């Protein structure tokens, strides 16, 4: 099935016409990410048994579940920075990505041509950005686990290694 202008989502805060937007709400609960569902790295594979038990000993981990705001905020910030970089690569340096919605779950790109004037190339650019934005949202749980590994487990591991 082909992608058309009818497939583009819009969002508006308050009054006025909406702008093209991507729903980037994260499906997982922000405070409870099951560690056994996460892989830290496509090359390294799933969280190792040792790393898993080390993380369980930390304050940010409880009963095999990653909890807390720090990992969430770090993963979301990284995703929004990636969206801005991708938007500039796709649409040019004049654009700005920002959040809309009650919980900031919509990615809106400011600086695009008027939607009514979009041609097939503009639509293809939007589709590319839309897919990338969804990939970033879907990767937030992985980003949380990576943050926990980098900031909770890894520093402790490196401190215990003696030359």
In a 13 Å sphere around the CA of 100, the CA atoms on its Cβ side amount to 20
Domain ranges of the chain: 28-157
Residues 136 and 146: their CA atoms lie apart, in Å, by 14
Q: What is the mean pLDDT of the chain?
A: 77
Helix spans in the chain (H) = 49-56, 69-91, 120-138, 140-148, 154-160
**Cα angle for residues 128, 134, 136 (degrees, 5° grid):** 100
Alpha carbon 151 to its chain centroid, in Å, reads 19
Structure confidence at residue 77 (pLDDT): 92
Closest CA to 143 of 54, 80, 99: 80
Task: Give the strand order in the sheet containing 10-11.
Answer: 10-11, 19-23, 106-110, 96-100
Is residue 6 very low, low, confident or very high in pLDDT (cuts 50, 70, 90)? very high
Model confidence at 48, in pLDDT bands (50, 70, 90)? low
Q: How confident is the model at residue 159 (pLDDT cuts 50, 70, 90)?
A: very low
Tokens linked to 109: 């790109």
Q: What is the pLDDT of residue 136?
A: 94
**Residue 32, pLDDT score:** 55
DSSP 8-state class, residue 116: G
The reported pLDDT for the residue numbered 43 is 46
User: Which pair of tokens denotes residue 22?
Assistant: 């991507």
Token digits of residue 67 = 């909890």
Nearest to 86, CA basis, from 133, 42, 36: 133
* pLDDT on residue 158: 47
pLDDT of residue 82: 97
Is 142 a residue whose pLDDT tops 60?
yes
8 A C-beta contact, residue 9 and residue 23: yes
Token pair recorded at residue 92: 């040019």
| Stronger pLDDT, 144 or 158, i.e. the higher one | 144
Q: Can you give the pLDDT at residue 41?
A: 47
What is the structure's pLDDT at 30?
A: 54
pLDDT (tens digit per residue) in 82-140: 999 999 999 999 999 999 988 889 999 999 999 999 999 999 999 999 999 999 998 88
């Amino acid at each position: 099935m082909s992608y058309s202008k009818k497939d583009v989502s819009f969002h508006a805060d308050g009054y006025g016409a909406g702008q093209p937007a991507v729903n980037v709400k994260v499906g997982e609960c922000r405070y409870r990410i099951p560690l056994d569902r996460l892989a830290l790295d496509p090359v390294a594979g799933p969280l190792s048994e040792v790393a898993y038990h080390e993380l369980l000993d930390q304050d940010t981990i409880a009963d095999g579940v990653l909890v807390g705001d720090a990992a969430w905020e770090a993963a979301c910030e990284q995703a929004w920075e990636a969206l801005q970089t991708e938007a500039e690569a796709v649409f040019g340096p004049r654009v700005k990505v920002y959040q809309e919605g009650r919980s900031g779950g919509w990615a809106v790109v400011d600086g695009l041509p008027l939607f009514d004037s979009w041609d097939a190339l503009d639509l293809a650019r939007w589709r590319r950005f839309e897919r990338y934005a969804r990939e970033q949202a879907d990767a937030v749980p992985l980003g949380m686990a990576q943050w926990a590994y980098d900031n909770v487990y890894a520093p402790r591991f490196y401190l215990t290694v003696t030359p």
